[in-house]
């Protein structure tokens, strides 16, 4: 009796194995699944009545979506208590089971009826015959590199043996997916057939005498495109691949090097030895810090956030049916688009009909691109556009159950808009502000229902950025929180929940990245050194590049507002004078006027403005790249810890998710608090104190950090 794989034997002697892991929306490889597979394969091999087996899925749209990442996290924890050999055996278990399946003497066919990712594709690759449904929504791939791992179920060995090494490397190193048709062209599957013919086609192959032997187990097998370290094609591939990989990863992701090593070493060995090599490298990655940190933040905690871990449990679902979008600028237009894409009716309001229509045109352009790329049809695009009503009349907001305001960042303007809106919307309507700088508690004072006022902070461009920051004002109630989280789930974004503060969490902490870079510029540190250290630290872009995107003009105005808001409590920084000079004296606003930290030549690539050296002379003696990198990363982490100490952040998970998906903090670290835990809380505290002694109070370790260091306590237990 098996719980995750249903076993049926028909009168023709073909066994049907239907994968259906209980309690999961998609099939994933769990310990129980492994036990069932290990039980069924020898049973099939020993049963003379069985001619062969077909493996398929009992879940709609999903074959197998890969390994249960929580299980992999637990495996990485084994290093603390278990010998290294025991961890290797745990990592080798999948390879051992799949190798037993492909060498058991009975033919196995995979009938792939949904997405097959990671271990799911590796199960299919271990089958002797693979047929897939003709469905463009189905994707196949090995995305383990995206969480700092390598395919640990034979993917680094079977995929190159089917596709050829050169063709397989992009899928292994970049986590690229392929469609059913691409899989057929790449020799990954044998046939693409209609969904309703899938299992029948796999059965027929077995009954027609399908052989239980893989190509790589046959004599004189050669890898497509070249094999062996002396083959000119392969030599050329492995000469260039490490350099190209280093360029892309900046040396921060060890999994890419391990994948190259697996393929290079494995293709010279018989399959059994090659699989052991793969499991060895897989084990080493689990023993490291990068993979466990990435798995925890990018998948386990991210999925928990998306499933509503912060949602009040006693409030029924509050689906948004009609959204009032106040402001049709870039942010408002983007929010209208993602809402309409989710099937929500949107009233897009602005001060003029022309501005409102322009906001809707943003959606028209994006949908036209989707139609051109065949990601949707004209009919569906028209239906989505029909959900957006551009207007200047507040009366059109009647019946809205959610309002999102994205008007000018001015308290008085926002207060006026709030009053006009509440005059026409239902009493039950929740009011959200997309402000990125103004305190929610202050804005809520203009509302007659402060408990129904909440911050819903998007990131630009809205259609691409995955994070939404939910900000709780002092009087925000659970109903508003539940509504905001349900809306974010509808539009398929990732939420974090934070408490009110000037700049909230993301804007406040992100600003330290750019500010510290400008501080260093004022000290005479080379702008190229600063920018390159930002890029090579793993940040999404360098501090000056992102500073131009945000705009120097905005940085100036936010700085002025912060000074005014904090009064005597404001601590001046060297960056203040630099920003003032760039904006007020030199007229350099950033990318918006093609003059900022960078120059933007027409038709050419941007480059750092040479005038920086003239106005902010470079010192003769420059610091090490390590010091510059630490200043950029540590300054952000210190501000994150201050937010946690002040109660702006509710949990370490929100801190790390918000940092990576909100402002592009180095994903390989797992986020700023994961980074601190990895460095060691005491070591990090000591290093920050040394930086504070040298460069000022921005690096001073908060009391929370000092207390944790004294107790030898991590942020994650």
Active site amino acids? 457
* CA distance readout (Å), 299 to 23, 255, 494: 18, 17, 11
Tell me the Ramachandran region of residue 664: left when phi exceeds 0, alpha when psi lies from -120 to 50, beta otherwise: left
Q: Are 69 and 32 spatial neighbours (Cβ–Cβ below 8 Å)?
A: no
How far from the centroid of its chain's Cα atoms is residue 73's Cα? Answer: 18
Rounded to 5 degrees, φ, ψ at 44 are -65, -40
> Do residues 4 and 36 touch, judged by C-beta distance below 8 A?
yes
| Whole-angstrom distance, CA of residue 294 vs CA of residue 669 | 7
CA gap 453, 481 in Å, rounded: 9
| CA distance linking residue 632 with residue 641, whole number of Å | 15
Q: How far apart are CA 682 and CA 710, in angstroms?
A: 7
Give the Cα separation of 503 and 640 in Å (integer): 12
Order of all β-strands in the sheet with 402-405: 388-391, 345-349, 322-326, 402-405, 430-433, 453-457, 467-472, 494-499
Contact predicate 538/667, CB 8 Å: yes
Burial 189-222 (b: 16+ CB within 10 A, else e): bbbbbeeeebbebbbebbeeebebebebeeeeee
434 secondary structure, DSSP code: -
Beta strand 177-178 with 140-141 is antiparallel
Q: How much is the CA Rg of the chain, to the nearest whole Å?
A: 28
Considering only the C-alpha atoms of the chain, give the largest distance between any 2 of them, rounded to a whole number of Å: 87
- Evaluated on CA atoms 104, 15, 47, 11, the torsion sign reads negative
Yes or no: say if 259 and 173 are a contact pair by the CB < 8 Å rule.
yes
Quote the CA–CA distance of 100 and 153 in Å, as a whole number.
12
CA distance 324 to 344: 10
Give me the count of residues in the chain: 717
8 Å CB contact between 24 and 67 = no
Return d(Cα 515, Cα 507) in angstroms, integer.
12
Q: Which of 705, 654, 694 is nearest to 304 (CA)?
A: 654
């Amino acid at each position: 009796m098996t719980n995750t794989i249903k076993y049926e034997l028909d009168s023709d002697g073909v066994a049907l194995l239907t994968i259906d892991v209980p309690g999961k929306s998609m099939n994933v490889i769990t310990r129980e699944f492994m036990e069932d597979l290990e039980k069924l394969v020898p049973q099939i091999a020993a049963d003379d009545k069985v001619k062969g087996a077909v493996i398929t899925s009992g879940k709609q749209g999903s074959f197998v979506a890969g390994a249960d990442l929580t299980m992999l996290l637990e495996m990485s924890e084994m290093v603390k208590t278990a010998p290294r050999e025991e961890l290797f055996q745990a990592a080798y278990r999948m390879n051992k089971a799949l190798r037993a399946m492909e060498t058991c003497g009975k033919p196995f066919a995979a009938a792939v009826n949904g997405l097959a990712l990671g271990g799911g594709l590796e199960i299919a690759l271990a089958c002797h015959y693979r047929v897939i449904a003709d469905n463009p929504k189905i994707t196949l791939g090995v995305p383990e590199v995206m969480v700092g791992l390598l395919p640990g179920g034979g993917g680094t060995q079977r995929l190159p043996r089917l596709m050829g090494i050169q063709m397989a490397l992009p899928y292994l190193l970049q986590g690229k997916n392929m469609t059913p048709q691409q899989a057929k062209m790449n020799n990954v599957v044998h046939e693409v057939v209609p969904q309703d013919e899938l299992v029948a086609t796999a059965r027929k192959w077995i009954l027609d005498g399908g052989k239980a032997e893989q190509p790589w187990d046959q004599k004189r097998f050669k890898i497509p495109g070249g094999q062996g370290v002396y083959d000119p094609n392969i030599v050329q591939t492995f000469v260039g691949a490490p350099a190209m990989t280093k360029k892309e990863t900046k040396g921060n992701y060890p999994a890419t090097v391990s994948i190259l090593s697996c393929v290079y070493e494995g293709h010279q060995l018989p399959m059994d030895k090659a699989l052991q090599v793969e499991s060895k490298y897989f084990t080493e990655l689990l023993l490291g810090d990068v993979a466990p940190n990435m798995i925890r933040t990018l998948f386990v905690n991210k999925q928990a956030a998306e499933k509503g871990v912060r949602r009040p449990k006693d409030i029924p679902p509050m689906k948004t049916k009609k959204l009032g979008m106040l402001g049709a600028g870039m942010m408002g237009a983007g929010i209208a688009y993602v809402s309409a894409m989710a099937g929500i009716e949107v009233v897009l309001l602005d001060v003029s009909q022309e501005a409102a229509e322009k906001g809707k045109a943003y959606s028209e352009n994006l949908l036209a691109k989707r139609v051109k790329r065949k990601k949707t049809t004209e009919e569906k695009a028209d239906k989505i556009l029909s959900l957006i009503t551009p207007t200047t009349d507040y009366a059109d907001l009647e019946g809205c159950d959610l309002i999102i305001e994205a008007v000018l960042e001015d308290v008085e303007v926002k207060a006026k808009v709030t009053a006009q809106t509440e005059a026409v919307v239902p009493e039950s309507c929740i009011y959200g502000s997309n402000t990125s700088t103004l305190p929610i508690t202050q804005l809520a004072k203009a509302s007659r229902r402060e408990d129904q006022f909440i911050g819903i902070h998007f990131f630009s461009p809205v259609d691409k950025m995955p994070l939404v920051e939910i900000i709780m004002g002092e009087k925000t109630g659970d109903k508003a929180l539940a509504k905001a989280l349900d809306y974010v789930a509808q539009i398929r974004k990732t939420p974090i929940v934070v408490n009110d503060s000037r700049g909230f969490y993301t804007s406040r902490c992100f600003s330290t990245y750019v500010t510290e870079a400008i501080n260093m510029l004022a000290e005479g540190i080379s702008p190229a050194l600063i920018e390159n250290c930002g890029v090579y630290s793993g940040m999404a872009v360098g501090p000056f590049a992102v500073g131009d995107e945000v705009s120097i003009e905005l940085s100036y105005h936010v700085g002025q507002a912060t000074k005014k808001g904090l009064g005597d409590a404001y601590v001046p920084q060297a960056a203040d004078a630099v920003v003032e000079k760039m904006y007020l004296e030199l007229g350099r606003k950033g990318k918006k006027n093609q003059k900022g930290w960078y120059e933007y030549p027409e038709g050419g690539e941007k480059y750092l403005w040479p005038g920086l050296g003239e106005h902010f002379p470079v010192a003769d003696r420059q610091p090490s790249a390590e010091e510059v990198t630490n200043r950029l990363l540590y300054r952000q982490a210190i501000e994150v810890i201050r937010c946690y100490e002040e109660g702006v952040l509710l949990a370490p998970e929100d801190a790390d998710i918000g940092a990576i998906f909100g402002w592009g903090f180095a994903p390989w670290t797992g986020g700023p608090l994961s980074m601190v835990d990895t460095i060691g809380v005491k070591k990090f505290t000591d290093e920050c104190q040394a930086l504070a002694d040298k460069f000022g109070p921005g690096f001073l370790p908060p009391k929370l950090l000092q207390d944790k260091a004294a107790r030898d306590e991590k942020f994650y237990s």
